[in-house]
A and B are shown apart, each in its own frame.
Chain A
Amino acid sequence: MTATPTPARRQPSSAKPVRRPGDLFFSSASIGSATIILLTLAGVAVFLLIEALPALTAPADEVSGGAGFAGYVWPLVVGTVVASLVAMVLATPVAVGIALFVSHYAPRRLGQSIGFVIDLLAAVPSVVFGMWGMSVFAPRLVPLYEWLEQNLGFIPLFADASTSGRTLMTASIVLAVMILPIITAVSREVFLQTPSLHEEAALALGATKWEMIRTAVLPFGMPGVIGGTMLGLGRALGETMAVAIILSPGIFTWNLIGSGNNTIPAEIALNFPEAAGLRLSELIAAGLVLFVITLAVNLFARWIVDRRAEFSGAN
């Protein structure tokens, strides 16, 4: 008897590889899922385009505001983008700080629980943020806005303080709180992935903790932080409820701390139930514009996050 078991019979060699039913099932299932997501996206785009067409082609004086669709939508676009950018600028430094604390400063236990609390923040429904922002947060910001008006009033952004606090600035701050978890989570992940090899290289050169973070952790994590920031921006752009509740909408103004301004999602949410005909088409067209902006931001974020592979330094 030989020690090595011999196959009972040789497989006849054929040109075609064997196709097992399990493989076939799972490959078609995953191809199917991938196709569904593409079809959904295409369906949304086609729906928006068809429904938006009347507003896009309507004569200028028939569109709300009487200046054509472009004239109608640009203040909303600027309002949306400004609110989101301010939120991003406010949230990013705090998120990076939290991520560094959790990944490099806090004792492991404490870091984990803080990370958990931050993730919980993402679970708060946006309508709760909206109500809190309107009834609790906005009135308390009024003194700050008055101070800004008195001391920085020469900057058009802080020209005229609102008495209710329900301004684009308040909406931005609440948006910043809402996008904090996603930026923190992505940053924490990349900071934790910093190769200890690079951290030790910096420490062995006589780096203090902060210098080590500056030399090894931040350059390594930067693409990830940028990607997380972009994901947060995408979330802020599409946020509806919080902005719709907090903001008392009005005509466009560069003044961030006064009443006025609106964002695309809030405009749609507030007007959609009663809209019909051309007005409905206008709102859908505004949605199309938002769709394009959000898509562009998310693609950009994806591209930056994917580029991180080159920076891994693993060789």
Chain B
Amino acid sequence: MSKRIDVNDLDIYYGDFHAVKDVTMTIEPRSVTAFIGPSGCGKSTFLRTLNRMHEVIPGARVDGEVLIDGQNLYAKGVDPVDVRRQVGMVFQRPNPFPTMSIKENVLAGVRLNSKRMSGKAADELAERALRGANLWNEVKDRLDKPGAGLSGGQQQRLCIARAIAIQPEVILMDEPCSALDPISTLAIEDLISDLKTDYTVVIVTHNMQQAARVSDKTGFFNLKATGQPGELVEYDSTQTIFNNPREKATEDYISGRFG
């Protein structure tokens, strides 16, 4: 199910503001790729262009191409709705739908495809997705309770279950642990390691230890000065980035000597 992503010469703009400059990278299937870098360097913006979620913000546009198994997401006639069904996303703050039960939350994406599903098939799918998100044992007795009643970490895993229920090719995570306590963070990190056997996972994080723990490859984003576009400074295996970075800026950032 997982697919490879090739990004070629991608520039991202918000109106006249050039947010990210000239990114070219290849993201391997069945791997975890982490993006690190200071706030405002464009790593989240870049992540959102991988499923065209940046378009939600008025005035946002890109120049360049993003290929998923050779298919350009920005080719003419590609519907962003279809792109987002292939490329799932988990956000910084857990965002289950407050008016829906746990089970309805998991099935929300599937129901959008307006496929009619028998009650049994729906139950099985919900269980599979919740097991996939390591949440089944905690919620199996209260599937009809509101999703907003869970703890923050459980809500975030519920959001992951919701994302994998539609069986995407790629899962994007935008700082998925920044609103969580260390125990919940650990649970999510374990889950990320499990997910990479089936999916291509791309994660943005502010936590460098987290990037070192979960990812196979790491990209370091930076900007030269405020108002300048962010750029991909270095992209390599996580081991190289953290032990033997090529660029001085990367070394300064990961060793905390930044700015």
Contact = CB atoms under 8 A, between A and B. Distances in A.
Contact of A204 (B88, B148, B152): B88
A218 B139 CA distance: 27
Given A198-B97, A200-B91, A215 B56 contact: no
Interface string B86-102: 00110101011111100
A112 interface: no
Contacts of A201: 91, 95-97, 159, 162
Contacts of B121: none
Nearest to A199: B56
Interface stretch (A131-139, A280-288, A307-315): A307-315
Contacts of B78: none
Contacts of B206: none
A265 to B, nearest CB: 38
Interface string B22-64: 0000000000000000000000000000010100101000000
A219 to B, nearest CB: 4
Contacts of A208: 81
B108 interface: yes
A206 B112 contact: yes
A197 interface: yes
A304 interface: no
B82 interface: yes
A53 B162 CA distance: 63
In this complex, the interface size class of chain A, counting residues with CB under 8 Å from chain B, is 20 to 34
B68 to A, nearest CB: 14
Interface residues of B, number: 29
Closest 8 CB pairs of A and B: A313-B98, A206-B85, A205-B109, A204-B89, A219-B99, A197-B95, A206-B84, A201-B95
A127 interface: no
Interface in B128-171: 148, 152, 155, 159, 162-163, 166
Given A207-B109, A215-B108, 6 more contacts: A202-B97, A204-B51, A204-B84, A205-B85, A313-B98, A315-B152
A205 B99 CA distance: 17
B17 to A, nearest CB: 18
Nearest to B85: A206
Chain A contact residues: over half helix, strand or loop, or mixed?
A: helix
A203 interface: yes
Contacts of B113: 206
A204 B85 CA distance: 8
A312 B152 CA distance: 16
13 contacts: A197-B91, A200-B56, A201-B95, A201-B159, A205-B85, A205-B88, A205-B108, A206-B81, A206-B82, A206-B113, A219-B100, A222-B99, A315-B155
Contacts of A207: 81, 109, 112
Interface in A207-230: 207-208, 211, 215-216, 219-220, 222
Contacts of B93: 197
Nearest to B83: A206
Q: Which of B81, B98, B159 has the most CB of A within 10 A?
A: B98
Given A197-B93, A204-B53, A220 B112 contact: no
Given A200-B56, A201-B159, A211-B112, A206 B99 contact: no
